[in-house]
Amino acid sequence: MPVEPLTPALRRRLVLAARRAVRTSYSPYSKFKVGAAILTDTGRVFTGCNVENASYGLCNCAERTAIFSAVAAGERRLRAVVVYTPTPEATMPCGACRQVINEFGPEAVVLSVCDGQERLETVLPALLPVAFGPQDLGIREQEPRVPRRRRSPA
Ligand code: THU
């Protein structure tokens, strides 16, 4: 399923959301704050920040925090991932995040913004070519989104 191009309004919304998300970054060890915002195929936006741990290997990146929130909310398909760092230069998602993006957004647009002028934009296949993914385990169809439950009237 080809990914629809992002409109300038959507882009602005995602960048703003990623910039807001960095406020809750828990990064006392690296002091490197990251905020992320993702757009799903249903048009919902989810955000996340990096969450570190005294046991360093357990640190979770902002991108994965946002993606896992979306999946926990029933979403299964990503259109775009936006990363914000309050740094002079933009940074792209790490290898682990690229693999997680591939699971839910193999064609996702990836945009990185920062406090400087630099803006990096690409698509996931350029960041993770010839990816190992669901197809290698015999899964050809993306899992459908889990429908949202309607609130029952009080
Ligand atoms: N980090 C992210 O949150 N996203 C990235 O794309 C790169 C790295 C976090 C992990 C860790 O908390 C800190 O940045 C330094 O690596």
Q: Break the chain into its structural domains and give their ranges.
A: 8-137
Output the pLDDT for position 141. Answer: 83
Tell me which of 147 and 47 has the higher pLDDT.
47
Q: Which helix (H) or strand (E) holds 62?
A: helix 62-72
Atom 3 of ligand 1, nearest CA residue: 61
Phi, psi of 113 (to 5 degrees): -130, 160
pLDDT, tens digit, 9 for 90 and up, residues 86-142: 999 999 999 999 999 999 999 999 999 999 999 999 999 999 999 999 999 999 887
64 and 97 Cβ atoms separated by less than 8 Å: yes
Tell me which of 53 and 142 has the higher pLDDT.
53
73 and 147 Cβ atoms separated by less than 8 Å: no
pLDDT, tens digit, 9 for 90 and up, residues 3-28: 567 999 999 999 999 999 999 999 99
73 and 44 Cβ atoms separated by less than 8 Å: yes
**Residues with a known catalytic role:** 63
User: Going edge to edge, which strands form the sheet with 109-114?
Assistant: 45-49, 35-40, 78-85, 109-114, 119-123
Output the pLDDT for position 4. Answer: 66
Output the pLDDT for position 149. Answer: 80
Tell me which of 116 and 149 has the higher pLDDT.
116
The Å distance, Cα 89 to ligand 1 centre, comes to 14
The Å distance, Cα 55 to ligand 1 centre, comes to 15
CATH of domain 8-137: 3.40.140.10
Mean pLDDT, residues 37-62 taken together? 98
